[in-house]
Amino acid sequence: MQATKTINPRKFSMGKATWISLGVTILAIIVMASCCTTIDSAAVGIKFKKWSSNAELRGGVEGTCRGWVWYNPITESIFEYPTYIQRVTYEPFTVNPKDAAIFSMTPTLAYQIDENKAVDIFVKYRKPVRELEMGYINTCIFEAYRTCANNYTSDELMANRAKFETEVRARLDESMNAEGFIVREFTTKIDPPASLTEAINAKNEAVQNALKAENKVKEAEAEAKIAIAKAKGEAEAQKITGDGEAYYNRVVAASLNALLVQQYAIEKWNGELPQFNGSSALPFINLNK
């Protein structure tokens, strides 16, 4: 016959209490976790009430915070803005100068949220930074480009790109800094219309060809000058040589006399008399006659 197992009521009660305590502890941890958050030191937290009719709280804002932050998740919330530099490169968009040409602008912006104006940004926009970049900041950039481009023709814009970018940056500083966005860097990649690019390339090619032709003319002139100088040198050398030979001939002719001529003839004579010699026995001319 099988024995019946009995349960100790005291042990059962202790086990049940342990499980209840464990459950309460877990629930308390969950509640505490939902009531606490951390704000990084490179950010600013904004604690605000979800529902508030008090106009002085400016949208229910209770203040800024950092580190460990406790709040009531039912009635309160925490919004966070980074205070370190944000960098964003926008998709290209077009603007028109005074002559209605179409320029493509690709801006790159580095900005930082002013911690002292973080509450103002939250109260006014109540959006995270990525939405602000694609919304308010993008609008500021486009408006700055559009306004500044209207002061230039296409040629002026291409010739004064640095000045144009400086003017755009100045307008961004004026509009964004007032709202709490500090512009740290701003650069632009400017792409002119294809027709203007082709015209500029053609103009540059023409200038290069003109420079090449000018260089060839200068090279030909230099070569001609070299040839003339060489010809003059050769002519002068020939003249000097001719003058020398003439001078030599004059000196030799002046030094000749009848006796020298006869002596030279005798030295060259082979001893044979000519067949027809006339009345003279020797084949020599009397130079005195």
Is 44's pLDDT higher than 60?
yes
Total number of domains constituting the chain: 2
Query: Which two three-digit tokens encode residue 243?
Result: 């003058």
104, 180: one domain: yes
Q: Work out the average pLDDT over 123-149.
A: 93
- For residue 15, the model assigns a pLDDT of 61
- Cβ contact 154:99 at 8 Å: yes
4, part of any domain: no
* Rounded-to-10 torsion of CA 94, 98, 99, 104: -20
Q: How far apart are CA 207 and CA 185, in angstroms?
A: 36
Which of 192, 209, 237 delimits the end of a domain? 192
- Cβ contact 107:187 at 8 Å: yes
Query: pLDDT tens, 2-43?
Result: 555 555 555 555 566 666 666 666 665 555 556 788 898 899
107: CB partners within 8 A, 6+ apart: 89, 90, 141, 145, 186, 187, 188, 189
52, 116: one domain: no
Confidence of residue 1 (pLDDT cuts 50, 70, 90): very low
144, 95: one domain: yes
- Cβ contact 141:107 at 8 Å: yes
Phi, psi of 71, deg, nearest 5: -155, 165
Query: Which two three-digit tokens encode residue 149?
Result: 């481009």
Q: How far apart are CA 289 and CA 283, in angstroms?
A: 15
CA distances from 147 to 109, 133, 200, 225 (A): 18, 20, 25, 59
- For residue 231, the model assigns a pLDDT of 80
46, 112: one domain: no
Query: pLDDT tens, 95-109?
Result: 999 988 889 999 999
With pLDDT > 90 as the criterion, what percentage of the chain qualifies? 34
> Phi-psi region for residue 30, left (φ > 0), alpha (ψ -120 to 50) or beta?
alpha
**Domain span at 116:** 86-192
- For residue 86, the model assigns a pLDDT of 95
Q: How many Cβ atoms are within 10 Å of 88's Cβ, its own excluded? A: 16
56, part of any domain: yes
93, 144: one domain: yes
